[in-house]
Copies of this chain bind each other. A is one copy, B any other.
Amino acid sequence: MVMPLALLEKSLDKKVSLLLKDGRVLEGKLTGYDEFMNMVIDDTVESFQEGEGRRLGVVVLRGNNVVSISIV
């Protein structure tokens, strides 16, 4: 059994891919999170589906906009 937040803990400083409710995908390095699944992502690149990425740098993401987090 792996608790969801424990998996985030193990994924710190690793690359993750986040699917947001509005269909956007953010990729970057997970450098922090809290119990609401708010997250801090470094070197964030944003894309809609498979399109060209836009660089966003350091991003704080509100957990209630996140659908899923893939460890990549």
Known: A4-B33, A7-B32, A34-B4. A59 touches B65 (CB 8 A): no
Q: Which residues of B contact A52 (CB under 8 A)?
A: none
Q: Are the CB atoms of B72 and A67 closer together than 8 Å? A: no
Number of copies of this chain that the complex holds = 7
Are B40 and A38 touching (Cβ within 8 A)? Answer: no
Q: Provide the bound-state CA to CA distance between A4 and B42, in Å.
A: 12
> How far does the alpha carbon of A10 sit from the alpha carbon of B69 in the complex, in Å?
24
Q: What are 16 of the A-B contact pairs (CB < 8 Å)?
A: A2-B31, A3-B34, A4-B32, A4-B33, A6-B32, A7-B32, A8-B60, A22-B23, A22-B67, A37-B62, A56-B68, A57-B70, A58-B70, A59-B69, A61-B68, A62-B64
